[in-house]
Structure 1
Amino acid sequence: MDSNQPSRPPSTPSVGDPPSAGDPPHAGHDREPLLAPLMAVTAVSGLIDAISYLGLGHVFTANMTGNVVVIAFAVAGAPGFSVLGSLVSLAAFLTGAVIAGRLANVMRARDPSSWLRRILGAEAVLLAASTVVAFTTDQAVHALIALTALAMGLRNATVRKLAVPDVTTTVLTLTLTGLASDSTWAKGTNPRVGRRLASVVAMLAGALAGAVLVLHTGLGWALLLSTAGTTAAVVMTRRSSRG
């Protein structure tokens, strides 16, 4: 090669690129079978944030952006916000994400449905534990924050590793940005518009259900529904792997 010829920078693979030799065994494989369980747990995310914000002292345990902002509000002296609660949530969420990152080194050699099923099974166990705590005592706010945030960190990091386009399950900012920036009004083609809209509707429905249950029945029933939703997603992943 001519030494005077400028070198080309290495390209950065995108989600849709074919797998290379260094990619995990399932990189680039079809993720369509994962969509149904991921939409189910997107609704659970709405439930969890309704539970945590309305019932656990204005903190978030699925949406960490909200916690960073809440900490700033609390430091500034705004009433009704807890630095401690938000820090507990952040710490538990990050712990779950670290665990998921370590597990990914083992799980990524498995079928994606099997990988997701195991992680969602762990999430269901954590949410079931939080349900028991909520029905048992009303003096364990920080324990509930930690349990639900740990579950969300575990799942969020796993979904990130699985890299299903336009499905994050816990945040909608990029999804809504894509809907707008790729719309026909922006002269775009809006790929995957169906799953983008489904994600928005799922989280809205989950948050609405969570708010109604927290305000009218209590935390326990809302957490029970979130446990049921995640358990249903586990069943969906089993069916998708069989299909």
Structure 2
Amino acid sequence: MADDIKSGMDPRVPLLLLLSVTTGLVDAASVLGLGKVFTANMTGNVVFLGFAAAGTPGFRVAPFVIAILSFLVGALIAGRTARIYAGLSERRWLLTAALVETVLLWIAAFVARGFDVASQSPDPALFAIIALTGLAMGFRNATIRSLKVADLTTTVLTLTLTGIAADSGAAGGGNPNWGRRIAAVIAIFAGAAIGAWLLFHVGLAAPLAVAGGLVLLGTIACALHPAMRRPI
């Protein structure tokens, strides 16, 4: 993975920050538009599934099960795809992953046009959007995991926030990667805020469509960098 590329010059860093923005967009669409379901971050789904299993009002088992299973399938497919691309350029792998994710998000956006957020109906559209975005985010997470860029998972912030505090000067640490850690928090925050605005002012399809476009355009821009010719 080209250890000789300096952290600050790594073309993957701005891409992963942009992908973090899309995480906020997708979570805004899923949590606010699909009834408290996370399709980019699975921790919340496991907790909510526990609530549903206990019979808590307002929580259904099916949406959370579909989200978790589709996420796992997406990650599995990405893992197998990465092995197929082993030895080929990182550029080809990232472009393939971006195309898969973008197509899934755009199909979800198309399906969302026929979904009523207020009544959470019809169920087939609800489950289809959850499955499509879950597949996309599972594929994304497995892809990012293979890149091994420190402190930029693009979907979760628990360890990032822990690192900001635990590795800070106040804790006796050296503040490693503090810039990208803070940028990751800001990116997901911004994506969530923009996604919420799009959902309430334009519709459920909007944040999903914008997320897909950002994934594709950002990856193409990253792929143009000469360093992306290196093998994965």
TM-score between the two structures when normalised by the length of structure 2: 0.88
Q: 2-side partners of 1:154 and 1:241: how far apart?
A: 25
Q: 1-side partners of 2:42 and 2:49: how far apart?
A: 11
Identify unmatched segments of 5+ residues in structure 2.
117-121
Q: 2:113 aligns with which of 135, 143, 149?
A: 135
> Contact (CA 8 Å) 2:66, 2:127: kept in 1 or not?
yes
Q: Can you list the C-alpha shifts for 1:103-152, whole angstroms capped at 9, x where unaligned?
A: 11122312323322210111011111111111244430100000001000
Offset of 1:27 from its aligned partner? Answer: 6.1
Offset of 1:217 from its aligned partner? Answer: 2.3
Offset of 1:222 from its aligned partner? Answer: 1.6
Aligned counterparts, 1:56-135, within 5 A:
56-135=34-113
Report SS of the residue matched to 1:109. Answer: coil
Q: 216-225 or 181-190, which moves further after superposition? A: 216-225
Matched, 1:187 2:165: no
RMSD: 1.7
Q: 2-side partners of 1:227 and 1:47: how far apart?
A: 10
Matched, 1:177 2:155: no
Aligned counterparts, 1:1-243, within 5 A:
26=1, 28=3, 30=5, 32-138=10-116, 139=122, 140-241=125-226
Q: Can you list the C-alpha shifts for 1:161-196, whole angstroms capped at 9, x where unaligned?
A: 111111101101111111110001101001111111
> Contact (CA 8 Å) 2:169, 2:175: kept in 1 or not?
yes
Offset of 1:29 from its aligned partner? Answer: 5.5
Offset of 1:157 from its aligned partner? Answer: 0.6
**Aligned residue type for 1:127:** L
Greater relative contact order, per chain length (Cα 8 Å cut-off, separation 6+): 2
Q: 44-53 or 220-229, which moves further after superposition? A: 220-229
> Contact (CA 8 Å) 1:114, 1:237: kept in 2 or not?
no
Percent identity reads 46
Q: 2-side partners of 1:154 and 1:104: how far apart?
A: 10
Offset of 1:215 from its aligned partner? Answer: 2.3
Q: 1-side partners of 2:77 and 2:164: how far apart?
A: 32
> Contact (CA 8 Å) 2:112, 2:204: kept in 1 or not?
yes
> Contact (CA 8 Å) 1:36, 1:236: kept in 2 or not?
no
Identify unmatched segments of 5+ residues in structure 1.
1-25
Q: 1-side partners of 2:84 and 2:203: how far apart?
A: 39
Q: 2-side partners of 1:115 and 1:203: how far apart?
A: 24
Q: 2-side partners of 1:241 and 1:136: how far apart?
A: 43
> Contact (CA 8 Å) 1:93, 1:149: kept in 2 or not?
yes
Offset of 1:156 from its aligned partner? Answer: 0.2
**Aligned residue type for 1:202:** A
Q: 2-side partners of 1:47 and 1:125: how far apart?
A: 16
Offset of 1:95 from its aligned partner? Answer: 0.2
Q: 2-side partners of 1:191 and 1:141: how far apart?
A: 42
User: How many residues were matched structurally?
Assistant: 218
Q: 2-side partners of 1:50 and 1:137: how far apart?
A: 16
Q: 2-side partners of 1:137 and 1:195: how far apart?
A: 37
> Contact (CA 8 Å) 1:58, 1:80: kept in 2 or not?
no
